[in-house]
Amino acid sequence: MNPLQWKREHQFAWAVVCLIGAIIGLLYAWFDSPFYLLSKAAAADPDWAGKWTPSRLFLAWISQLRFYWPWPGFGALIAGLAFYAAMLFKSP
């Protein structure tokens, strides 16, 4: 079963599933990050209100690829393989 011979809608669905898996992997990396704990502390402390908002901490974290690079890839890979397995079992 070659994915390149699938119908266009199946290929598009596979790409969407991989994208969703990558987003879930990115969210997992964010929630596992010390920047997330710092952003929770910044949101709770009124003294940090102007300096370090949670959105600024997230943007600082996302700009540093070394903190999270494997997780979106793993998420996309796992979701893509799950979709491929579902297509294998669906085929006659």
List pLDDT tens digits, range 14-68: 999 999 999 999 999 999 998 888 888 877 777 766 677 788 888 889 999 888 8
Look at residue 20 and tell me if it is in a domain. Answer: no
Average the pLDDT over 68-74 and give the result. Answer: 93
Q: Which residues contact 2 (CB under 8 A, 6 or more apart)?
A: none
Look at residue 21 and tell me if it is in a domain. Answer: no
Look at residue 65 and tell me if it is in a domain. Answer: yes
Sign of CA dihedral 72, 74, 79, 81: positive
Look at residue 33 and tell me if it is in a domain. Answer: yes
Instruction: Please indicate whether residue 7 or residue 20 has the higher confidence score (pLDDT).
Output: 20
Q: State the pTM of this model.
A: 0.84
Give the model's confidence band at 91: pLDDT under 50 very low, under 70 low, under 90 confident, else very high: low
User: How high is the pLDDT of residue 48?
Assistant: 64
User: How high is the pLDDT of residue 84?
Assistant: 93
Look at residue 1 and tell me if it is in a domain. Answer: no
Look at residue 85 and tell me if it is in a domain. Answer: yes
Write out the residue range of the structural domain in which residue 76 sits: 26-42+49-92
Look at residue 8 and tell me if it is in a domain. Answer: no
User: Which of 81, 76, 80, 88 has its CA nearest to residue 22?
Assistant: 76
Look at residue 2 and tell me if it is in a domain. Answer: no
Q: Domain total for the chain?
A: 1
